[in-house]
A and B are shown apart, each in its own frame.
Chain A
Amino acid sequence: MNPKMACQGLQKGETLATLKKECESLKKKLEEDRGKLNDVELHQVAEKVEVVGALSIKTRRVLKGHTNKVLCMDWCKDKRRLVSSSQDGKVIVWDGFTLNKEHGMSMPTTWVMACAYAPSGCAVACGGLDNKCSVIPLSLDSNENCAAKKKTVAMHTNYISGCTFTNSDMQLLSCSGDGTSALWDVESGQLLQSFHGHTSDILSLDLAPSETGNTFVTGGCDKKANVWDMRSGQNIQSFECHESDINCVKYYPSGDAFASASDDATCRFFDLRADREVAVFQKDSIVFGASTVDFSLSGRLLFAGYNDYTINVWDVLKGTRISMMFGHENRVSRVRLSPDGTALCSASWDNTLRIWA
């Protein structure tokens, strides 16, 4: 490079020495500012809040029917129906009140790792080892074979780990072992937006509550939780605090924060405006990975399912464990609060689902 060219763009009086000095002072200022953002922890702010009273949450229903591990479930907006998917290749729609199996559909591959109920309640989406996410309209006629009407919407180059409809039946968000997530038009199957940034499998996604706009969060094997803008495809925030795979991410009900569950046996809580981790839910006695989390309606309770077959209930504000929910006889793969917050459903590798209230 010719010396004259290198000097272009240099301002008057600038030398290596002055730039170095400017560098040092900027670094110092940055450190100071970052320190200010970290002034206090969530549980310190919440010191004066009353402790949570004894919870009276018990198993109220046990849903039996799958013949292998239940990997995923989702509630219908009507607060009583739910859909579950399993390693047995089946997707079942249940009436949670009566335990009636309303629909049972067989998928072409085993390990249906993701399923979701459409907002209208008229369809479900599912996907897994087939690398595709399909939408199945639910027929009112129980004799009709629903699986025949299955429509492929999402196509990835590795397994589907999570899927969700956006605010309508018209769009579907998927995440995959191929490290990408994508937004699809259900009717045409067209790819509307793809999201790149993870450097390994994505294991979970969650859409921000509708009031807070068009963003979603993903977590995966690269130990990162990323927040995305659905319209631009941009990764707007990234958090790397876990020490192992992130198995699940879930927004706090206000949309201003989210929680994560990881193989490092901790669950963590991240505030989006402070742009940092504000709580870690861990105990020396908890050594098994956490696979799933969900909040109670007010966000005060965090239900977390673990590979030691239990569900721990954490006080989100105080960072302490309130109680444990026992019952499953194998890993808990998914926990989901019902739409009105009156019940929690858990899915497990023991082939059953439980509804707790």
Chain B
Amino acid sequence: MTSNSNLSNMRRLVEQLKLEASVERIKVTERLVSQAAAELQQYCLQNAAKDALLVGVPTGSNPFREPRSCAVV
């Protein structure tokens, strides 16, 4: 009896591993970390000029940096 349940367990395990292997295969063909990292880097560099906190902006164009006028309450 135990050898039969071992067999069906083993079968189940093989099926699960086959599923995982096919998923991994898809991931590998789609993306490597080096490729994903290169795209993250590209996004950063492409948008760097617009990033006010990174590069700073010309005086006057950042409203928070402008001196505030005092209001009499």
Contact = CB atoms under 8 A, between A and B. Distances in A.
Contacts of B72: none
Contact of B50 (A45, A317, A341): A341
Interface in A270-296: 271, 273-276, 278, 296
B12 to A, nearest CB: 10
Contacts of A301: 51, 53-54
Interface stretch (A21-29, A64-72, A169-177, A217-225): A21-29
B11 A317 contact: no
Contacts of A13: none
Contacts of B4: 1, 3, 6-7
B7 A19 contact: yes
> Which bucket holds chain B's interface residue count?
35 or more
Given A298-B50, A299-B47, A355-B64, A40 B33 contact: yes
Given A278-B37, A298-B48, A342-B53, A273 B30 contact: yes
A148 interface: no
Interface string B36-73: 11111101111110111111110000111100100100
Interface in B7-34: 7-8, 10-11, 13-14, 17-18, 20-21, 24-25, 27-28, 30-34
A298 B52 CA distance: 9
Contact of B47 (A36, A56, A297): A297
Contact of A42 (B21, B40, B45): B40
B37 A42 contact: yes
A256 B46 CA distance: 15
A15 to B, nearest CB: 8
A300 B68 CA distance: 30
A49 B42 CA distance: 10
A61 B50 contact: no
A130 to B, nearest CB: 34
Contact of B36 (A26, A274, A298): A274
A98 interface: yes
A296 B13 CA distance: 45
B53 A19 contact: no
A159 to B, nearest CB: 32
A254 B32 CA distance: 18
Contact of B18 (A26, A36, A278): A26
B25 A342 contact: no
A344 B62 CA distance: 12
Interface of A: 1, 3, 6-7, 9-10, 14-16, 19-20, 22-23, 26-27, 29-30, 33-34, 36-42, 45-46, 49, 52-53, 55-57, 60-61, 80, 96-98, 252-254, 256-257, 271, 273-276, 278, 296-301, 316-317, 337, 340-344, 355, 357
Given A33-B21, A60-B64, 5 more contacts: A27-B17, A49-B45, A60-B65, A271-B37, A357-B53
Interface of B: 1, 3-8, 10-11, 13-14, 17-18, 20-21, 24-25, 27-28, 30-41, 43-48, 50-57, 62-65, 68, 71
18 contacts: A10-B7, A23-B10, A26-B14, A38-B33, A40-B33, A42-B33, A55-B53, A55-B54, A60-B64, A98-B68, A252-B43, A271-B33, A271-B36, A271-B37, A271-B40, A274-B32, A301-B54, A341-B50
